[in-house]
Amino acid sequence: MINDKNYSRRYVIAGIAVLVVLTYIIRLFVLQVIDQSTQGKAETNAQLRQTVYPSRGLIYDRNGDLIVANQPIYEVTVTVHEMQSTVFDTVGFCEKLRITPEEFNDRMRQIANPRKNRGYSRFSPQVFMGQLRQEDVAALQQELYKYDGVYIRYRTLRDYIYPIASHVLGNVGEVNQRDLNRDKYYALGDYSGRDGIERTYEKSLRGEKGLKVLMRDSRGRVQGPYKNGELDKSAVTGENLYLGLDIQTQLLAEQLMQGKVGSIVAIEPKTGEVLALVSSPSWDPSSLVGQDRSANYQALLSDTLKPLMNRATQAQYSPGSTFKVLQALIGLQEKVINEKTQYVCNGSGSRPIRCTHSHGLHVDLEEGIEQSCNPYFWAMYKDLLQREGYSGENEGFKECYQEWRDHVMSFGLGSRFDDTDIPEQASGAIPSIGLYDRIYGKTGWKALTIRSLSIGQGEILVTPLQLANQTAAIANKGYYITPHLNKNDSMKSMIHRTTIDAKHFDVVHRGMARVMTNGTGRWYNVPELQICGKTGTVENPHGEDHALFIGFAPQDDPKIAIAVAVENAGFGSKTACPIATLVIEQYLRGKIARTWLYDEMVKMNLITNKE
CATH of the domain at 190: 3.90.1310.10
Share of the chain above pLDDT 90, in %: 68
- Burial code (b: 16+ CB inside 10 Å, e: under 16) for 502-511 equals eebbebbbbb
pTM of the model: 0.87
What is the pLDDT, as a whole number, of residue 46?
67
Q: With respect to residue 297, please indicate whether it lies within any of the assigned structural domains.
A: no
| Total number of domains constituting the chain | 2
What is the pLDDT, as a whole number, of residue 117?
73
Average pLDDT over residues 367-395: 94
What is the pLDDT, as a whole number, of residue 6?
58
Check whether 273 has a pLDDT greater than 80: yes
What is the pLDDT, as a whole number, of residue 54?
93
The Cα 512–Cα 369 span in angstroms is 7
Confidence of residue 4 (pLDDT cuts 50, 70, 90): low
Bridge-partner residues for 547, per DSSP?
537, 566
What is the pLDDT, as a whole number, of residue 32?
58
Domain residue limits at 83: 48-242
Question: Among 27-36, 153-162, 505-514, which is the least confidently predicted range?
Answer: 27-36
**Residue 30 DSSP label:** I
What is the pLDDT, as a whole number, of residue 39?
45
- Both 343 and 314 in one domain: the answer is yes
Strands 59-60, 66-78: pairing is: antiparallel
User: What is the sign, positive or negative, of the torsion defined by CA atoms of 203, 204, 205, 206?
Assistant: positive
- Both 129 and 270 in one domain: the answer is no
What is the pLDDT, as a whole number, of residue 271?
96
Cβ atoms within 10 Å, residue 266: 30
Angle (CA) 122-47-40 rounded to 5° is 105
Q: What are the distances in angstroms from CA 442 to CA 403, 438, 572, 576?
A: 18, 8, 37, 40
Q: State pLDDT tens for residues 420-456.
A: 999 899 999 999 999 999 999 999 999 999 999 999 9
Task: Work out the angle between the directed axes of helices 134-142 and 90-97 (0-180°, nearest 10).
Answer: 150
- Both 272 and 236 in one domain: the answer is no
**Residue 486 DSSP label:** B
- Both 406 and 519 in one domain: the answer is yes
Bridge-partner residues for 580, per DSSP?
none
**Residue 58 DSSP label:** P
Q: With respect to residue 70, please indicate whether it lies within any of the assigned structural domains.
A: yes
- Mean of all residue pLDDT scores within the chain: 90
- Both 184 and 160 in one domain: the answer is yes
Final residue belonging to a domain, choices 186, 220, 242: 242
Average pLDDT over residues 202-224: 81
- Both 228 and 271 in one domain: the answer is no
What is the pLDDT, as a whole number, of residue 1?
47
- Both 224 and 154 in one domain: the answer is yes
Q: What are the distances in angstroms from CA 514 to CA 341, 472, 536, 556?
A: 17, 18, 15, 14
Check whether 477 has a pLDDT greater than 90: yes
- Both 177 and 252 in one domain: the answer is no
Final residue belonging to a domain, choices 215, 242, 269: 242
Q: With respect to residue 557, please indicate whether it lies within any of the assigned structural domains.
A: yes
Q: State pLDDT tens for residues 8-25.
A: 666 667 667 777 777 777
Question: Among 29-38, 282-291, 398-407, which is the least confidently predicted range?
Answer: 29-38
Q: With respect to residue 117, please indicate whether it lies within any of the assigned structural domains.
A: yes
Is there a contact between 570 and 513 (Cβ–Cβ < 8 Å)?
no
Check whether 35 has a pLDDT greater than 70: no
Q: With respect to residue 136, please indicate whether it lies within any of the assigned structural domains.
A: yes
- Burial code (b: 16+ CB inside 10 Å, e: under 16) for 118-128 equals eebeeeebbbb
Q: With respect to residue 388, please indicate whether it lies within any of the assigned structural domains.
A: yes
Check whether 2 has a pLDDT greater than 60: no
Angle (CA) 447-448-451 rounded to 5° is 85
Confidence of residue 611 (pLDDT cuts 50, 70, 90): very low
The Cα 157–Cα 544 span in angstroms is 42
What is the pLDDT, as a whole number, of residue 167?
96
- Both 543 and 560 in one domain: the answer is yes
Check whether 153 has a pLDDT greater than 50: yes
Q: State pLDDT tens for residues 315-359.
A: 999 999 999 999 999 999 999 999 999 999 998 888 999 998 777
What is the pLDDT, as a whole number, of residue 28?
64
Any idea what the CATH number is for the domain that residue 333 is in? 3.40.710.10
Angle (CA) 112-117-118 rounded to 5° is 115
- Both 237 and 279 in one domain: the answer is no
Q: With respect to residue 40, please indicate whether it lies within any of the assigned structural domains.
A: no
- Both 420 and 488 in one domain: the answer is yes
The Cα 78–Cα 586 span in angstroms is 53
- Both 496 and 553 in one domain: the answer is yes
Closest by alpha carbon to 485, among 409, 423, 396, 410? Answer: 423
For 595, the enclosing helix (H) or strand (E) is helix 595-603
Greatest Cα pair distance, the chain, in angstroms, is: 149
